[in-house]
Homo-oligomer: A and B are copies of this chain.
């Protein structure tokens, strides 16, 4: 007897605004290094053990359903005969098995929309990297998780203990509990976030969201929200700036995606920050800004005016005036001028840092309604942006979203395999063809660039530009 449970407004909105051109799932690409004593069958065995998972956590069991019995209402229904071989897939890369082939495959996998008739997730174990590492690409519908929660979920099901074995899959019931060492082994460090996130996938709520109450409320009041946001334009505070120049990124998109990803040592980024009195996040934004400036210049498409990025920032729940299901932090957003009109990398970094500060200050002096509005943009841009467009905004409210999600600081393992790379795969949308999401992990900053395959040509070039730009910033800061 399947049970029916109503779907909260935010989850429903993510489901209903989805189209073939704008699938609404977030993803993650992980790279693992097998343990030194792994035999040739190690990966096959791990894959098989995933398929043998006896019980799947509630979050990964339910699927949306619209039935006559429920009067046509959208409900969650448990899939009682979950077909794990459908959700957990074994793939391989063609030769020569470089990162290039991996990114091409991830772009393809991220392009396909998930069907409502099954639980809204997929996990792909990918072999065939020439260097012997194994990749995992996971895909979860945005109605179930947001990016920050997905990151916490991942970390909660890994272990800091390289010798731990018998660990269940991420989607298994009790996975997060079992990842916790029975007794604290020496030399392992656990962040308080992980402790809080132990049983994420088993929460009784509908979805894993950093600020459930807030976003549900925001999704329920798009018009009031948009009104507040438009008022912001008149206030001309940078935190609510809603006018950016037109760029090639701000067009309608197609359903096909490209994905590019690479790591940079956090130490290098921090070095530039220390020498210039800016934050790691400022330097990340300056790298992105410079890389886009180079990219658009090559395409002869750089706008005269500075591009604007929406940057999600943490808000204390108290500040946001909302009750979060987990008592954790809410997410607001700041509009940052990327200073793409400035030629000098040092000037650009300085301008970005100032714009970020201005934005945060503006946020702290906002009214409650404005904060809710800004938070709604941060939490659910794919819901809010189309609403803004419908309200007749002629220029894009901002050019792209650049997020930076904090991840675990120490190495994590799954059955002895060490997580060595972690890259978010995000959601481009109509009018926002490129998304950049960064995730820190164990001394590296992983950049994940997700773009519409047609609207953002040669996406991979941005990786080279990011490296060149970090080097230029190091030179400018005198730390190279």
Contact = CB atoms under 8 A, between A and B. Distances in A.
28 contacts: A20-B113, A20-B115, A21-B115, A44-B95, A83-B453, A83-B454, A86-B256, A89-B108, A90-B94, A90-B101, A91-B92, A91-B94, A92-B92, A92-B93, A92-B94, A92-B95, A92-B128, A94-B125, A94-B127, A95-B127, A112-B112, A115-B254, A115-B255, A115-B256, A117-B254, A117-B255, A117-B454, A128-B128
A85 to B, nearest CB: 8
Contacts of A20: 113, 115
Nearest to A105: B91
Max chain B C-beta neighbours (<10 A), residue from A94, A112, A255? A94
Nearest to A44: B95
A437 to B, nearest CB: 24
A24 to B, nearest CB: 14
Contacts of A117: 21, 254-255, 454
Nearest to A89: B108
Contacts of A101: 90
Contacts of A108: 89
Interface string A215-255: 00000000000000000000000000000000000000011
> Which 6 pairs show the lowest CB-CB distances between chains A and B?
A92-B92, A92-B94, A90-B94, A115-B255, A117-B254, A112-B112
A92 B91 CA distance: 7
A180 to B, nearest CB: 31
Contacts of A128: 92, 94, 128
Given A86-B453, A94-B128, A115-B256, 13 more contacts: A44-B95, A83-B454, A86-B256, A89-B108, A90-B94, A91-B105, A92-B93, A92-B94, A92-B128, A94-B125, A95-B127, A115-B255, A117-B255
Nearest to A96: B44
A91 B124 CA distance: 14
Nearest to A254: B117
Which of A91, A101, A113, A118 counts the most chain B CB atoms within 10 A? A91
A110 to B, nearest CB: 12
Nearest to A252: B117
A86 B127 CA distance: 22
Contacts of A454: 83, 117
